[in-house]
């Protein structure tokens, strides 16, 4: 009997937890398929009469009915993908190389550098954004995807290096030693033995890095003023003040921007948890 | 066997670390050094004759700047309102996820949703929920009879501050859940079994085993969360722009305004560096006083 009561309590708490997590996002999804009239009626109609997917179609494919709002969202999606993808690849390649050295090789300054990597996660982005803005302006790189990607690298590269060092440490050293006895050089053993074994870890770290880069707002917001480089986050931030009337379009943009990180996070749950616990980072 | 130059540990390490080192130097180290240098000048971007060396004047000025002090106090309140709630709630949810129930893995995945949501979408979503005229919170409260009229949640200082706090708690609690849940799973089950043999109650097992074992991770969680509270910008920018009546004007937002709205790059850099120092000191204090220096969860 007591066990049943306890089990019922657990289930009730789980239901409450799920409601708390899902309700706000569910409302965003419902808003995105409602009409403006339904959303602005008082008392509120909770569920639209029939779902309207027009905003999704307009943002994703354009077509008649699409406004400049929809077109700028479409353009910014390309920017988001390029910036986050570029930052992820650079952070992953440079990070994987460095982390192998941190995990396996002894060299001067190793411990200091590893400690420094963690310290960067304490650094507020606002500290480096002013000089970065000045430098980017001097180099005529304002409003470029390159500048935004490099700004992301500042915080993501230390993170990927830190997380990947953990993966490399866990690859048995004996495998490498065996390869070297067979005549491989250190670099050869790294390329032929260690890298293939580390691939799952590198892929997982890449997904983690991509989510953080995709969600980044502050530096993208400071470094871009036109649609040449504005990411989805930046465009949505503008709407929330400028076009605060078209709630359905705004909600649709929000849902679409959330889909890549949310789907990746839930699909690769286990790796995301590993990345978070190793890096304990916000981005 | 002749060894190539590249096969020596030091040289291989040098080659491997070089790209990362160059990138970090360009996008992190250089900006930090420049920020420090800039903070010692009176640079105002709109005034080409500015930029002379002023020593520590910007820092001294910050301590006399009433708006900066207000922002510091407000940020402290914000940290006090969010960090303990997120950590305690995170611990409770982590303990819950450690119980047996159907679809446990699905729920564990679901907890990642707020973490994965872009910050801007989170801010927009909550701003829409709190909307004074059409917001779902008002509709819910009025239709269930809990409130008589629609409230202007983001238009009054106290409710606006609490609204930002609630949005932050929703978004940031999952990270505490994940850190604490991972740590819970590393506690050897033999400890609990032995305690049960000794007849220890659930509460006693929690205070004598779970809490002490989690101490280092709780310290890290508190440290990270506090640093993030100090860094908070996105929610404030999207939801309230620091208002109403500066009620949500937190440190990072104030620094942003000083720098990019009023273009005082010198003073803004000094504020940013002070912010960094505050974050660093807080993190060190937490980890030193509460836990071992183990940083991994």
pLDDT score, position B2: 52
Give the C-alpha separation, B164 to B161, whole Å.
5
pLDDT value for A109: 84
Nearest CA in chain A to B283: A122
| Mean per-residue pLDDT, B9-33 | 90
Rounded Cα distance between B234 and A217, Å, is 7
Give the pLDDT mean for B113-140.
92
Q: Looking at this predicted complex, what is its ipTM? A: 0.91
Q: What sign has the CA pseudo-torsion A271, A273, A276, A278?
A: negative
pLDDT for the residue B3: 61
- Minimum CA–CA partner of A26 in chain B: B125
Beta bridge partners of B53: B41
pLDDT of residue B294: 46
CA distance B152 to B131: 7
Q: Is B29 on the interface with A (CB under 8 A)?
A: no
State whether A94 and B13 contact (CB < 8 Å): no
B191-210 pLDDT per residue, tens: 998 998 988 888 999 999 99
Distance from C-alpha of A90 to C-alpha of B20, rounded to nearest angstrom: 9
Cβ proximity of B95 and B184 under 8 Å: yes
Over residues B245-251, the mean pLDDT reads 92
Partner residue opposite B99 with nearest CB, options A10, A221, A254: A10
For residue B183, give the chain A residue with the closest CA. Answer: A277
- In chain A, whose CA is at the least distance from the CA of B241? A241
User: Cα dihedral angle (A5, A8, A14, A15), rounded to 10 degrees?
Assistant: -140
What pLDDT was estimated at residue A254? 93
Cβ of A101 within 8 Å of Cβ of B260? The answer is no
Distance from CA of B73 to the nearest CA of A (A): 18
Where does chain A have alpha helices with state H?
2-32, 36-39, 54-61, 68-104, 110-119, 125-138, 145-169, 173-181, 186-189, 195-215, 218-223, 232-242, 247-267, 269-279
Alpha helices in A120-172 (DSSP H): 125-138, 145-169
Give A227→chain B minimum CA distance, Å.
17
User: How many angstroms separate the CA atoms of B39 and B34, rounded?
Assistant: 8
Q: What does the pLDDT read at residue A276?
A: 79
pLDDT score for A282 = 41
Quote the CA–CA distance of A279 and A158 in Å, as a whole number.
9
Q: Is the pLDDT of residue B113 over 80?
A: yes
Measured at the alpha carbon of residue A263, what is the angle toward residues B180 and A261, in degrees to the nearest 5?
Answer: 75
Q: Which residues of B touch A36 (CB under 8 A)?
A: none
Inter-chain touch B21–A98, beta carbons under 8 Å? yes
Q: What is the C-alpha to C-alpha distance for residues A253 and A256, in angstroms, rounded to an integer?
A: 5
Using pLDDT thresholds of 50, 70 and 90, give the confidence band for residue B60: very high
Q: What is the pLDDT of chain B when averaged over all its residues?
A: 89
Listed ranges B34-48, B64-78, B138-152, B217-231; the one with the highest mean pLDDT: B64-78
> What residues of B are in contact with residue A39 (Cβ under 8 Å)?
134
Helix extents (H) in B25-148: 30-39, 57-64, 66-97, 104-110, 112-116, 119-129, 136-143
CB neighbours of B182 closer than 8 A, spacing ≥ 6?
A273, A277, B217, B297
Instruction: Determine the Cα–Cα distance for residues B290 and B278; give it in Å rounded to an integer.
Output: 18
pLDDT value, residue B297: 37
Query: Do A217 and B116 make contact, defined as CB atoms within 8 angstroms?
Result: no
**Phi/psi of residue B143, each to 5°?**
-70, -25
Q: Are A39 and A247 in contact (CB under 8 A)?
A: yes
- Between A243 and B260, the higher pLDDT residue: B260
Tokens 């993170």 — which residue?
A: A159
Task: Report yes or no: B78 and B250 within 8 Å, Cβ to Cβ.
Answer: yes
Does the beta-carbon distance from B13 to A233 stay under 8 Å? no
Q: Which of A97, A127, A214 sits opposite B272 (nearest CB)?
A: A127
- Inform me whether the C-beta atom of residue B282 falls under 8 Å from chain A C-beta atoms: no
- CA pair distance A95, A89, nearest whole angstrom: 9
Write out chain B residues lying below 8 Å of A121, CB-based. Answer: 224
Which pTM was predicted?
0.91
Instruction: Give the length of chain B.
Output: 297
- The sign one gets for the Cα dihedral B173, B174, B179, B183 is positive
In this prediction, residue B97 has a pLDDT band, given cuts at 50, 70 and 90, of very high
Residue B179 predicted with pLDDT over 50 = yes
pLDDT at B55 over 70: yes
Q: Is the pLDDT of residue B116 over 70?
A: yes
**Over 50: is that where the pLDDT of B295 sits?**
no
Predicted pLDDT at A108: 83
C-alpha span between B91 and B83 (Å, rounded): 12
- Binary contact (A211, B116; C-beta < 8 A): yes
The H-or-E segment that residue B42 falls in is: none
Task: Name residues of chain A where pLDDT drops below 50.
Answer: 281-283
CB of B196 within 8 Å of any CB in chain A?
no
Counted across chains A and B, CB pairs separated by less than 8 A come out at: 284
Query: Is the separation of the CB atoms in B53 and A127 below 8 Å?
Result: no
For residue B142, which residues of chain A lie inside 8 Å, CB to CB?
43
Chain B contact for A210, CB < 8 A? Answer: no
Which A residues, 223 through 242, put their C-beta within 8 Å of a C-beta on chain B? 232-234, 236-237, 239-241
A240 to chain B nearest CA, in Å? 6
**Chain A residue closest in CA terms to B124:** A240
Residue B231 predicted with pLDDT over 80:
yes
Position B65 pLDDT exceeds 90: yes
Query: Chain B 110-149, CB below 8 Å of chain A: which residues?
Result: 110-121, 123-129, 133-134, 136, 139, 142-143
Higher pLDDT among residues B151 and A280, named by residue: B151
Looking at the complex, does the CB of residue A93 fall below 8 Å from at least one CB of chain B? yes
Q: At what angle do helices A232-242 and B119-129 cross, to 10 degrees?
A: 20
């Amino acid at each position: 009997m007591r066990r049943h009561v306890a089990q019922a309590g657990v289930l009730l708490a789980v239901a409450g937890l799920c409601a708390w997590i899902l309700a706000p996002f569910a409302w965003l999804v419902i808003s995105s398929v409602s009409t403006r009239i339904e959303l602005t009626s008082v008392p509120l109609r909770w569920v639209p009469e029939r779902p309207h997917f027009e905003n999704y179609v307009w943002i994703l494919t354009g077509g008649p009915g699409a406004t400049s709002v929809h077109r700028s969202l479409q353009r910014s999606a390309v920017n988001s993908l390029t910036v986050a993808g570029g930052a992820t690849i650079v952070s992953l390649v440079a990070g994987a190389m460095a982390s192998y050295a941190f995990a396996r090789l002894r060299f001067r300054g190793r411990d200091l550098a590893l400690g420094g990597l963690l310290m960067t996660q304490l650094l507020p982005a606002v500290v480096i954004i002013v000089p970065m803005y000045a430098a980017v302006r001097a180099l005529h790189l304002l409003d470029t995807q390159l500048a935004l990607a490099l700004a992301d690298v500042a915080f993501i590269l230390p993170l990927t290096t830190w997380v990947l060092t953990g993966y490399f440490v866990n690859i048995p050293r004996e495998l490498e030693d065996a390869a070297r006895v067979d005549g491989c050089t250190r670099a050869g053993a790294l390329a032929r033995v260690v890298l293939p074994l580390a691939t799952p870890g590198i892929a997982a770290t890449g997904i983690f890095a991509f989510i953080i880069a995709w969600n980044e707002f502050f530096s993208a917001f400071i470094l871009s003023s036109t649609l040449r480089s504005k990411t989805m986050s930046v465009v949505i931030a503008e709407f929330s003040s400028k076009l605060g009337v078209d709630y359905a379009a705004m909600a649709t943009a929000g849902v679409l921007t959330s889909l890549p990180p949310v789907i990746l996070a839930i699909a690769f749950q286990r790796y995301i948890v590993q990345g978070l616990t190793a890096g304990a980072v916000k981005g | 066997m002749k060894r190539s130059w590249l096969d020596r540990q030091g040289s291989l390490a040098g080659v491997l670390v070089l790209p990362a080192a160059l990138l970090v130097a360009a996008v992190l180290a250089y900006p930090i050094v420049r920020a420090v240098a800039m903070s010692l000048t009176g640079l105002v971007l709109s005034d080409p004759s500015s930029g002379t060396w002023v020593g520590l004047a910007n820092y001294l000025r910050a301590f006399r700047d009433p708006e900066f002090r207000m922002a510091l106090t407000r940020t402290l309140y914000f940290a006090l309102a969010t960090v303990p709630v997120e950590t305690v709630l995170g611990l409770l949810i982590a303990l819950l996820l450690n119980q047996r129930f159907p679809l446990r893995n699905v729920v564990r995945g679901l907890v990642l949703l707020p973490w994965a949501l872009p910050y801007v979408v989170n801010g927009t979503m909550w701003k829409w929920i709190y909307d004074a005229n059409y917001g779902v919170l008002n509709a819910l409260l009025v239709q269930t009879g809990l409130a008589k009229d629609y409230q202007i949640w983001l238009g009054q200082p106290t409710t606006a501050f609490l609204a930002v706090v609630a949005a932050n708690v929703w978004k940031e609690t999952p990270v505490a859940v994940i850190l604490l849940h991972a740590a819970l799973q590393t506690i050897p089950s033999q400890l609990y079994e032995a305690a049960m043999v000794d007849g220890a109650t659930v509460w006693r097992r929690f205070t004598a085993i779970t809490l002490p074992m989690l101490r280092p991770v709780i310290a890290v969680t508190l440290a990270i969360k506090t640093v993030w509270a100090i860094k908070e910008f996105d929610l404030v920018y999207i939801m309230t722009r620091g208002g109403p009546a500066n009620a949500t004007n937190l440190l990072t937002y104030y620094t942003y305004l000083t720098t990019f709205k009023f273009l005082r790059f010198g003073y803004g850099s000094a504020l940013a560096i002070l912010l960094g120092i505050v974050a660093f000191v807080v993190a060190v204090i937490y980890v030193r006083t509460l836990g071992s220096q183990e940083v991994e969860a």
